[in-house]
């Protein structure tokens, strides 16, 4: 079965600092992995996805994530945090077409000025 | 591209009434739509998967007679909460997966339901 673990329910960084949100997955087959962002009272917006092509995936708003099979990780990073990045971030895994998304518990990112 | 809308964005209803929530894919055809429920400060819980023209597949523990799902066209799925009770109050989010780029789900903005 697929599962996702997000380490740290809350992460706080200063504006301009590196953002690192951790995600580890468990999958019996090569996974498709996703990062979504959710702003308060809104739906989820796709940041980026890994679908077995390049292991370093670039997404929107300056975010990127690297798929590391040996570590079963898909951590999300951004070199310089902006106040507008404050939101909740969800990592998700999908076995592939026709299979459901399994979400992590989410990480709330706080950006301090 | 890949825009999904939901209507209404929020609804307040009395206990015992039914509420219908619409999910539309605006610029693509969605062969599959998903319905999620999200409680405050929690992750999304998949309720059901609906495929156009066929019956929805419900996750374990989700009452199919209470949460009626219809996916009548490639751009519209509806979730009806029947005989709503206060414990049904939640944030309901739909997502849609298209016929191309099929592994990606695009999410609607969500519907906040409050049952009094």
HEC per residue, chain A: CCEEEEECCEEEEECCCCEEEEEEEECCCCCEEEEEEECCCCCEEEEEEECCCCCEEECHHHCEEEEEHHHCEEEEEECCCCHHHCEEEEEEEECCCCCCEEECCCEEEEEEC
Summarize the confidence of residues B51-62 as an average pLDDT. Answer: 90
CA distance B41 to chain A (A): 9
Summarize the confidence of residues A74-80 as an average pLDDT. Answer: 97
Residues of B in contact with A53 (CB under 8 A): none
Contact: B43, A44; criterion CB under 8 Å: no
**Residue B100: pLDDT band with limits 50, 70, 90:** low
Whether residue A96 has pLDDT greater than 70: no
- Given CB atoms, is B39 within the 8 Å cutoff of chain A? no
Whether residue B102 has pLDDT greater than 70: no
Contact: B4, A43; criterion CB under 8 Å: yes
Contact: A43, B109; criterion CB under 8 Å: yes
Least confident of A44-58, A97-111, B72-86, B93-107: B93-107
**Residue A97: pLDDT band with limits 50, 70, 90:** low
A7-59: per-residue pLDDT in tens? 999 999 999 999 999 999 998 777 889 999 999 888 899 999 998 778 999 99
Whether residue B101 has pLDDT greater than 70: no
- Given CB atoms, is B40 within the 8 Å cutoff of chain A? no
Contact: B46, A49; criterion CB under 8 Å: no
pLDDT score for B52: 84
Cα–Cα distance, A48 to B99 (Å, whole number): 19
Contact: A105, B42; criterion CB under 8 Å: yes
Nearest by CB to A32, from B32, B103, B107: name it: B103
pLDDT score for B1: 67
CA distance B18 to chain A (A): 22
Whether residue A69 has pLDDT greater than 80: yes
- Given CB atoms, is A52 within the 8 Å cutoff of chain B? no
Helix (H) / strand (E) element for B43: namely none
- Given CB atoms, is B25 within the 8 Å cutoff of chain A? no
pLDDT score for A60: 93
| Among A residues 78-97, those touching chain B with beta carbons less than 8 Å apart | 90, 94, 96-97
pLDDT score for B99: 65
């Amino acid at each position: 079965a697929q599962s996702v673990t997000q380490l740290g329910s809350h992460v706080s960084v200063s504006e301009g600092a590196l953002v690192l949100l951790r995600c580890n997955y468990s999958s019996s087959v090569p996974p498709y992995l996703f990062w979504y962002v959710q702003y308060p009272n809104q739906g989820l917006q796709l940041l980026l996805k890994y679908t077995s092509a390049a292991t370093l995936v670039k997404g929107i708003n300056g975010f990127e994530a690297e798929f590391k099979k040996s570590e079963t990780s898909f951590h999300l990073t951004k070199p310089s945090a902006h106040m507008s990045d404050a939101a909740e971030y969800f990592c998700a895994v999908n076995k592939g077409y026709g299979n459901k998304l399994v979400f992590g518990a989410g990480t709330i990112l706080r950006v301090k000025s | 591209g890949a825009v999904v809308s939901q209507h209404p964005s929020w609804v307040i209803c009395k206990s015992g009434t039914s509420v219908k929530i619409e999910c539309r894919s605006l610029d693509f055809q969605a062969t599959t739509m998903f319905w999620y429920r999200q409680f405050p400060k929690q992750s999304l819980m998949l309720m059901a998967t609906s495929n156009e023209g066929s019956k929805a597949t419900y996750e374990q523990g989700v009452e199919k007679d209470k949460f009626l799902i219809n996916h009548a066209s490639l751009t519209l799925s509806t979730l009806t909460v029947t005989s709503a009770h206060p414990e049904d109050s939640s944030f309901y989010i739909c997502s849609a997966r298209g016929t191309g780029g099929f592994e990606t789900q695009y999410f609607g903005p969500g519907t906040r339901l409050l049952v009094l």
